[in-house]
Amino acid sequence: MSKTESSVTVIILIGGEKGGSGKTTIATNMAAMRAAQGRDVLLVDTDIQGSASYWAANRDEAGVIPRIPCVQKFGRNLAVEVRDLAGRYGDVIVDAGGRDSAELRAALVVAEAAFIPIQASQFDVWTLQRMDELVASARAFNPGLTARVIVNRASTNPVVSEADEVREVMGDFEHLSLAPVVLRDRISYRKAAKAGLGVVEMERSDAKSKSEIRRLFNEVFSENSQADSEGETAVSA
Ligand SMILES: Nc1ncnc2c1ncn2[C@@H]1O[C@H](COP(=O)(O)OP(=O)(O)O)[C@@H](O)[C@H]1O
Ligand SMILES: [Mg+2]
């Protein structure tokens, strides 16, 4: 495997304390789309449930190209291991969650950017409060860390605006900002996950899910890849 022309390695964390918020969905979609650009992407699964690993195994069994390597890693030493892995891959996407998780804390210390999905229907301010604190602690070691909240599984009914509800409280959190892209509750995400695919790789997934996940992808990687064209310029949000 060779690194592509733009060899700046990006470490992205898709994290958060709540289960079922969409971390694995977003991590696997980002990995599939990044790999489609010809990058050597590694998925790091820190969840004991192994959903990301399961997705990657399904993908392998179905013979989907490009294949996406996935490793499971646990424990406090994750920061060191991820740094080491980042030296060997084009990009590393870490899927980390769980309350008081050593892996989540460790990943916050090595990531350039953290994205924190929250499920619109079970949105709770305390979760964000806690993430704000974790990001604040991590920034003591990792001052360039950016942390964005992504509203996921929002209602497809345009009248219901869960995103507005979240936007209203975001001002309370010094270390978090809100991603402009909202992902809605769409069956395509579940179907793609089962098949070891990203939604953009599924012929029959709906155009809306493809469009919103592409917008998210651009947000996740374009900010960070600015460093590719601007030398060492650090990007902060
Ligand atoms: N935008 C979405 N639309 C529909 N289903 C979703 C969406 N995001 C996640 N899901 C589904 O919700 C469940 C939990 O998502 P998952 O990514 O596994 O969460 P986490 O990794 O945070 O525990 C999965 O069954 C997944 O397919
Ligand atoms: Mg998961």
Domain ranges of the chain: 10-221
Q: Whose CA is nearest to atom 11 of ligand 1?
A: 190
Q: Is the pLDDT of residue 1 over 50?
A: no
Centroid of chain to Cα 225: 15
The reported pLDDT for the residue numbered 122 is 82
Least confident of 1-10, 91-100, 186-195: 1-10
Give pLDDT, residue 171: 92
Q: Ligand 1, closest atom to CA 154? A: 1
Could you tell me what percent of the chain has a pLDDT over 70?
Answer: 91
Q: For the chain, how big is the Rg over CA atoms in Å? A: 17
pTM over cut 0.75: yes
- DSSP labels for 10-26? EEEEEEESSTTSSHHHH
Ligand with the closest atom to the CA of 46: 2
DSSP 141: T
Confidence check: pLDDT of 173 > 50 = yes
Q: Has residue 237 got a pLDDT over 60?
A: no
The CATH classification number of 10-221 equals 3.40.50.300
- Tell me if residue 150 falls in helix, strand or coil: strand
Least confident residue range of 35-44, 77-86, 151-160, 190-199:
151-160
Strands 70-72 and 41-45: parallel
| Confidence bin at 177 (pLDDT 50/70/90) | very high
What's the 230 CA to ligand 2 centre distance in angstroms?
Answer: 34
- Any idea which ligand is nearest the CA of 151? 1
135: CA distance to ligand 1 center in Å? 23
Residues in the chain: 237
What percentage of the chain reaches a pLDDT higher than 90?
78
Alpha carbon of 134 to ligand 2 centroid (Å): 19
